[in-house]
Amino acid sequence: MKIILFIIFFAVFFEAGLISSYTIVTSQAPDVGKLIGLQIEEVTSFLSFGSGSKIINTQGNMNISNYQNVASELTNKTSYDINIQSLTAQTTGTTKNAIFPVNITAIGYQNAISGSNTTAVVITANQTYSITASANASYDINDNLIVDVSTIQITSTSVLYGNSSSTL
């Protein structure tokens, strides 16, 4: 009984503090119903984060069927060697249309070249890049994802490892 009474008093004092601070910050009378409704909505969205949440369920990873063509086009546009195993496509929209937009992510590598001195052996790591691109895609008759390589646009490249002075 003491625990329940403590929780009730805590909630009452918390709400009183929230209402008074809202009044101090905004210099207006608060709408108590909206404040309590907002708190309830935030708590329920926090508690149901993993089940049916729009944050998690809006994006779907898809395997690209024509990954060799996509990797080749990304290599042509960025001059980086593309790791085919890292190539994925995500969509945030519906895939019910014949053609739909996808975001493509991949990891690219570029060999580090150091100077023109051929007598010294210099061992350096490959520079690693994260590549993000957008394109249009569709499904074929066997429900395989086909990316239209002519619509690939590089949206960003980020240096993950290596010399950060080289840019695209």
Residue 167's pLDDT band (boundaries 50, 70, 90)? Answer: very low
Output the pLDDT for position 53: 41
Give Cα separations from 18 to 10, 41, 45 (angstroms): 12, 16, 20
Question: Is this structure's pTM higher than 0.75?
Answer: no
Q: What integer is the mean pLDDT of 115-139?
A: 77
Q: Nearest-CA neighbor of 83 among 160, 6, 1?
A: 160
- Is a pLDDT exceeding 70 seen at residue 159? yes
Q: What integer is the mean pLDDT of 53-81?
A: 77
- Is a pLDDT exceeding 50 seen at residue 126? yes
Bridge partners of residue 103, in order along the sequence: 90, 134
Q: What is the Cα 68 distance to its own chain's centre? A: 24
Output the pLDDT for position 97: 76
Q: How far apart are CA 161 and CA 115, in angstroms?
A: 20
Residue 135's pLDDT band (boundaries 50, 70, 90)? Answer: very high
Higher pLDDT, 25 or 103: 103
Q: How far apart are CA 134 and CA 156, in angstroms?
A: 10
Domain ranges of the chain: 2-56, 60-161
Length of the chain: 168
Q: What integer is the mean pLDDT of 110-121?
A: 63
Residues 6+ apart with CB under 8 A from 137: 89, 91, 99, 100, 101, 102, 145, 146, 147, 148
Residue 33's pLDDT band (boundaries 50, 70, 90)? Answer: confident
Q: What is the per-residue DSSP string for 25-61?
A: HHSS---HHHHHHHHHHHHHHHHTSSSS-HHHHT-EE
User: Please, are residues 121 and 131 in contact by the beta-carbon 8 Å criterion?
Assistant: no
